[in-house]
Amino acid sequence: MQVDTICAPATPAGKGGVSMVRVSGPSALVAAASLGGASVARMGSHTLKLSTLKDEEGIIDQAVVAYYKAPRSYTGEDVVEFAVHGSPYIVQRLMRALSVLGVRLAEAGEFTKRAFLNGRMDLSQAEAVADLIAGETKAAHDLALRQLRGGFSSEIENLRLKLLDFASLVELELDFGEEDVEFADRTRLRELLREIGSKVDAMRASFRLGNAIKEGIPVAIIGKPNAGKSTLLNALLHEERALVSDVPGTTRDTIEEVWQVEGMKFRFIDTAGLRQSPDEVERMGIERTLRKMGQARVWFYLFDAGTMGVEEAREEVAGYLASLAGVGEPGREAGQDGLELPSVVLVANKIDKAGLSVGREGDVLYISAKQGLGLDLLEDALRELMPVLPDENTLVVSNARHDEALGLVQADLRKVEEGLDMEIPGDLLAMDIRSAIEHLGRITGKILADDILGNVFSRFCIGK
């Protein structure tokens, strides 16, 4: 099959000191030599060359050209990278010159997709590249880097091979069906199912932590109108992000912003005030607030310390928690009733008007968002609610696609165990074992599916 040579800017658009344009494919060095001359054509692998790039109009730029010969490159193909001066005009002209030479613009994620297809990394490692680029915190960076190094892939492949060995033995029995020969020890198969099931269970249990590290922990700022929710969000962010007014019901939609505490990302959600309202638009905002409350892991219940007491605030929160099951996010798994209740921090605001002092009493924080007093107490409360971050040897699942596949593996393993209990024929056992093997293989790309590849690489930027 003819493989195109592709190119794309590998640095963000705009002016800067240096911009990089990446080329990958069988004609990469030929194209580079057409622009940079004979000295570029003679370049050895993993070398740099200062070269004057020219097109039919004249000099484009003086650039540093790097060459990586296949298969020792990111994509496993011949790769050339041009480091040019960071002018949008230079980048556009270089890209146009490459196009004239028959090099086409890369699709989103196509460089990494080629790396996967050429065996430079598996599918879960390719996804880790996207996570590494998107990571906004140290915790997210460290987690993506560990997955990129292949620890997760190795564990998945180990489980897959163990099941594959047993599936082969079970299927071998089918060739000797008339002789009633049993190659696969059923007792050992039960032990293997328990061993693999335990590891899959642990991986799925880690997804809650992994997803929190990757996506951030949602924190809903809730309370009655005019409690100071938007003022608090603005104070935490040190900018006027949310509209503040003395008129009740000003906030009619949720506003989300990110705040970091010791390498962990918290997604603060400023919500509409909770009350009965005749205004249809405000009611829609309140309904959205209730949905966000159901998705949040932490609630900051803000109340005006001058007009509401702590016990009244507790009663309000208890009522929302009691009704949460009716408005929570469908399918959340935790707790005996299938819904994990959020951690609640009571925040007594406007203490400057109520004549109270900054401080903390149990789960109640006394602050003044308008005056910026006691904000450090909120940070301390979040620090206490932070999950224990994993060490470098702890396996953590952070990808929803992986978690979904592991859930299917769990279901397949249960079917195999039920089949053993019912003493069903080996060919039926083999079908369920093979199904588990396939779902494990889809995580790392051992089992290919075009829809999976399209979904994975569509999340990448062009140039990676």
Listed residues 106, 136, 168: the one ending a domain: 106
Listed residues 77, 106, 135: the one ending a domain: 106
Task: State percent of the chain over pLDDT 90.
Answer: 46
Residue 348: burial class (beta carbons within 10 Å; 0-12, 13-18, 19+): buried
Query: Model confidence over 429-458: pLDDT tens digits?
Result: 888 889 999 999 999 988 766 666 666 777
Is 1 inside any structural domain? no
The verdict on 271 and 372 lying in the same domain is: yes
Mean pLDDT of 199-211: 92
Q: Which strand ranges, in their side-by-side order, compose the sheet holding 264-270?
A: 255-261, 264-270, 217-223, 298-304, 343-349, 364-366, 359-361
The helix or strand, by DSSP H or E, that contains position 428, with its residue range, turns out to be helix 426-444
The verdict on 34 and 157 lying in the same domain is: no
Q: Which residue has the tokens 């205004």?
A: 279
Is 112 inside any structural domain? no
The verdict on 62 and 188 lying in the same domain is: no
The verdict on 362 and 255 lying in the same domain is: yes
pLDDT in the model for residue 243: 39
Give the Å distances, CA to CA, from 443 to 56, 220, 308, 320, 333.
Answer: 47, 33, 52, 39, 22
Amino acid at 248: P
The confidence band for 240, taking pLDDT boundaries of 50, 70 and 90, is low
The verdict on 15 and 145 lying in the same domain is: no
The verdict on 404 and 380 lying in the same domain is: no
Nearest to 440 by CA among 399, 464, 404: 404
The verdict on 264 and 353 lying in the same domain is: yes
Give the Å distances, CA to CA, from 354 to 231, 302, 306.
Answer: 17, 14, 5
Query: Model confidence over 83-134: pLDDT tens digits?
Result: 999 999 999 999 999 999 999 999 999 999 999 999 999 999 999 998 998 8
- Peptide bond preceding 71: is omega within 30 degrees of 0, i.e. cis? yes
Mean pLDDT value across the chain: 83
pLDDT in the model for residue 197: 93
The verdict on 345 and 237 lying in the same domain is: yes
> Is the pLDDT at 149 greater than 50, yes or no?
yes
pLDDT in the model for residue 28: 97
> Is the pLDDT at 331 greater than 50, yes or no?
no
The verdict on 145 and 196 lying in the same domain is: yes
Q: Residue 176: which CATH number?
A: 1.20.120.430
Q: Which two tokens stand for residue 308?
A: 């509401």
Q: Which residue segment(s) compose the domain that 220 sits in? A: 216-385
Would you say 5 and 101 are in contact if contact means Cβ atoms under 8 Å apart?
no
Q: Residue 15: which CATH number?
A: 3.30.1360.120
pLDDT in the model for residue 282: 46
Q: Residue 255: which CATH number?
A: 3.40.50.300
**Stretch among 66-70, 231-235, 372-376, 452-456 having the lowest mean pLDDT:** 452-456
Would you say 404 and 207 are in contact if contact means Cβ atoms under 8 Å apart?
no
> Is the pLDDT at 329 greater than 50, yes or no?
no
Give the Å distances, CA to CA, from 414 to 85, 140, 188, 334, 435.
Answer: 59, 33, 16, 20, 12
The verdict on 285 and 242 lying in the same domain is: yes
Is 390 inside any structural domain? no
How far apart are the C-alpha atoms of 67 and 32, rounded to whole Å?
A: 9
pLDDT in the model for residue 425: 75
Mean pLDDT of 413-436: 86
Is 326 inside any structural domain? yes
Is 119 inside any structural domain? no
The verdict on 406 and 368 lying in the same domain is: no
Is 464 inside any structural domain? no
Would you say 369 and 235 are in contact if contact means Cβ atoms under 8 Å apart?
yes
pLDDT in the model for residue 1: 58
Q: Which two tokens stand for residue 179?
A: 């002789």
Q: Give me the number of domains the chain comprises.
A: 3
**Stretch among 164-168, 289-293, 372-376, 389-393 having the lowest mean pLDDT:** 289-293
Q: How far apart are the first and last CA of the chain?
A: 23
The confidence band for 428, taking pLDDT boundaries of 50, 70 and 90, is confident
Listed residues 329, 352, 385: the one ending a domain: 385
pLDDT in the model for residue 175: 56
The verdict on 95 and 149 lying in the same domain is: no
pLDDT in the model for residue 333: 38
How far apart are the C-alpha atoms of 123 and 452, rounded to whole Å?
A: 10
Task: State percent of the chain over pLDDT 70.
Answer: 83
Nearest to 24 by CA among 95, 96, 73: 73
Encode 253-284 in three state secondary structure: CCEEEEEEECCEEEEEEECCCCCCCCCHHHHH
Query: Model confidence over 42-52: pLDDT tens digits?
Result: 999 999 999 99
> Is the pLDDT at 315 greater than 70, yes or no?
yes
> Is the pLDDT at 200 greater than 90, yes or no?
yes
Is 102 inside any structural domain? yes
The confidence band for 171, taking pLDDT boundaries of 50, 70 and 90, is low
Is 313 inside any structural domain? yes
Would you say 124 and 153 are in contact if contact means Cβ atoms under 8 Å apart?
yes
